[in-house]
Structure 1
């Protein structure tokens, strides 16, 4: 009687090792793709959170703008000594607003949102007794957006009017638009109605 040996041949072993290697390669590639997708998704989520928080903050600050009584504009002071505090240029926006810092600090401040390379920076300060403000470089500051390639401010007076970038000094506008590009992508335009 001849005894037949039990087991796998060399060809069967090579085929099974090759199939196992291909399965392992597909699994590792899938895991790498999943990790890459997760990091891309986190970057997009972080960018959307940044856009949402900055937009919300700026909308709240413009909605609580201090409105003067005699000229219909944003003013500071009292009686006949009111002066308009709303200024715009293609790269900055200045207005007076009420802001709350924490639970117990806050008040009426003149704020400026401007590009200070390479960031968009919020600066704020109180006016002195004469209604004057100090140099903006000495004001308290907070970076709103880092690594900005473009920041522009435009405004319009009527709802359907043209967007203007050069300030005409006729009092506060009806709407303000901020355009931001960071991380090589444009944000959706931030369009805010100004309190009247």
Structure 2
């Protein structure tokens, strides 16, 4: 009858323990890297969703701004001037601007200028509309987006698109393209808005 396992066969050997520790360490390392990768994907996805939400808000704001633009008239002259990289218009002051000083300017009209500044920010500058006899206050600025390379604007009337608009009345459609720098993952389709006021003929 055998006297039992020799001392080298009892329990786990030192080599077996070391191998088990190495395997366990590799498993932990793989789990850690997998967790880091999943966290990175989650953070990227969250950043993209936040950027999309911000772009959606800007889209709605600009559509409303164009939609309610004034057409101008014989007394006021042209109040909508379109350029290839921005435009100037007059319209109701949006509540979304969060006007300082409470409701002082709510319901008033204002003159707006949309452009991209030297800091690559999409900026809306505005001043409350005043009669010519009143002193014009300094313009206020609202940063709509940061990290913008440029904007492209086109104006549709008389069956074709132009990169500029000047004259009484309004174009039929206004198209705004937000251009981001190379490597920026943000993307947004062109914003096409139609002023509700009857456009100028021809």
Q: TM-score range by the shorter chain?
A: 0.7 to 0.9
Q: Does 1:48 align with 2:52?
A: yes
Quick one: structure 1 residues 48 and 133, their matched pair in 2 at CA, closer, same or farther if it must change by over 3 Å?
A: farther
What displacement does 1:176 show? 0.7
Larger mean Cα displacement after TM superposition, 165-174 or 175-184 = 165-174
What displacement does 1:128 show? 3.0
**TM-align CA RMSD:** 2.5
Matches within 5 A, 1:9-88: 9-66=13-70, 74-75=71-72, 81-88=75-82
Q: Is the 8 A contact 2:113 2:125 kept in 1?
A: yes
What displacement does 1:146 show? 0.9
What are the Cα deviations for residues 147-191 of structure 1, in whole angstroms up to 9, with x where unaligned? 211211111115xx4331133535310111111122535421111
Alpha-carbon distance in 1 for matches of 2:164, 2:72: 20
Q: Is the 8 A contact 2:148 2:179 kept in 1?
A: yes
Q: Unaligned regions of 5+ residues in structure 2, if any?
A: 198-202
TM-score (norm 1): 0.81
Larger strand share, 1 or 2: 1
Quick one: structure 1 residues 130 and 112, their matched pair in 2 at CA, closer, same or farther if it must change by over 3 Å?
A: same
Q: Which residue of 1 aligns with 2:152?
A: 152
What displacement does 1:127 show? 3.1
Quick one: structure 1 residues 195 and 132, their matched pair in 2 at CA, closer, same or farther if it must change by over 3 Å?
A: farther
Count of aligned residue pairs for this structure pair: 182
TM-score (norm 2): 0.79
Q: Which residue of 2 aligns with 1:122?
A: 124
| Aligned counterpart in structure 1 of residue 179 of structure 2, from 167, 177, 181 | 181
Q: Unaligned regions of 5+ residues in structure 1, if any?
A: 67-73
Q: Is the 8 A contact 1:126 1:133 kept in 2?
A: no
